[in-house]
Copies of this chain bind each other. A is one copy, B any other.
Amino acid sequence: MMTDPVLVEVTRGNVVESAHRGALAVVDADGADVLVLGDADRPVFPRSAVKVIQALPLVESGAADRYGLTEAELALACASHSGEPLHAETAARMLAKAGREPACLECGTHWPLGAEATRALARSGAEPTALHNNCSGKHAGFICTACALDVDPAGYVAPDHVIQREVKAAMEALTGFAHSEELRGIDGCAIPTYAVPLRALARAFARLGAGTGLTRERAAAFARLRAAVARHPFMVAGTGCFDTILMEALRERAFVKVGAEGVYCAAFPELGLGLALKCDDGAARAAEVAMAALTGRFLTLSNEEGQAVSALSRPPIRNRNGLVVGTMRPAAALAGA
């Protein structure tokens, strides 16, 4: 395995306390490299970073229209949300529109990802349900899709269920990378995840953003989902979350999505560029700093946009008294120095 460069540093005082290595690819819709750092050809699990691709069948199947899903609901179908009440309620409403109950969700249950959401739920004396799972919107979308296709949603997380076959077909078409059982893992929410090279993931997002190299229906489906997320960035993540903050600032200028274990996929549609990155160690904090740094590097930003992006690319490290004791920052390789 080649050694990927340091992408992000964590300082304390004058010392670099920790450092995160990783790889990334920024490519255009023809697949031409714009920026490649590290090993962009090693297959990596995109995890939740491709949720918008996993949500394409929801639109393409006609399910979104048939059940009259709102933009907020479509945004939630692309989300890794923090389990706040509005997220859980929205997932429940999506299911209700297809005549289904939360018990149909096969994603499993966990306490909300959001720390304050967890404390609020505990304060209320309640326990979490599958609706609080950060993937409940995506799963509600899967169930709506199955219902619209007149397919029994039961078992929709299995690789051979029509839903996962559709998702896999969309991924293979967009990435141009054949998905093999050998490179298949099971995601946190029970669906299959297939390892794909970063370069191929970046190309998929370049094509989606540019609307080229794919059918008109697919281009329209992505445009609809992207617009939904841009208008409802809260739905795709939550209070204080990176993706929400970045897209509240940039709206349709950037489509970004985190994946577990240090992954980001993104499209900069006005530039026709797609991006995929993976921190080798799986650190979300470093993936976020890298994503923000690359956003600032490629997009020409207004003052206000630039301030939002800078705050995300150089977040302070504070001690328990709130004092700034260090910072996270893009390393030289990432800053283009």
Contacts and interface: CB of A to CB of B under 8 A. Distances in A.
A336 interface: no
A281 B19 contact: yes
Q: How many copies of this chain sit in the oligomeric assembly?
A: 2
A250 to B, nearest CB: 28
B15 A282 contact: no
A321 B187 CA distance: 10
A103 B182 CA distance: 58
Given A115-B111, A281-B286, A283-B283, A133 B43 contact: no
A320 B306 CA distance: 37
A13 B184 contact: yes
A44 interface: yes
B320 A107 contact: yes
Q: How large is the interface on A (under 10, 10 to 19, 20 to 34, 35 or more residues)?
A: 35 or more
A20 interface: yes
A107 B186 CA distance: 41
A253 B193 CA distance: 42
Interface of A: 1, 3, 10, 12-15, 17-21, 43-45, 106-111, 115, 118-120, 122-123, 125, 133, 182-190, 193, 195, 261-262, 279-283, 286, 319-323, 325-326
20 contacts: A1-B19, A13-B186, A15-B43, A15-B45, A15-B183, A15-B185, A15-B195, A17-B261, A18-B280, A107-B321, A108-B322, A133-B320, A185-B326, A186-B319, A186-B325, A188-B325, A189-B319, A190-B323, A279-B281, A281-B286
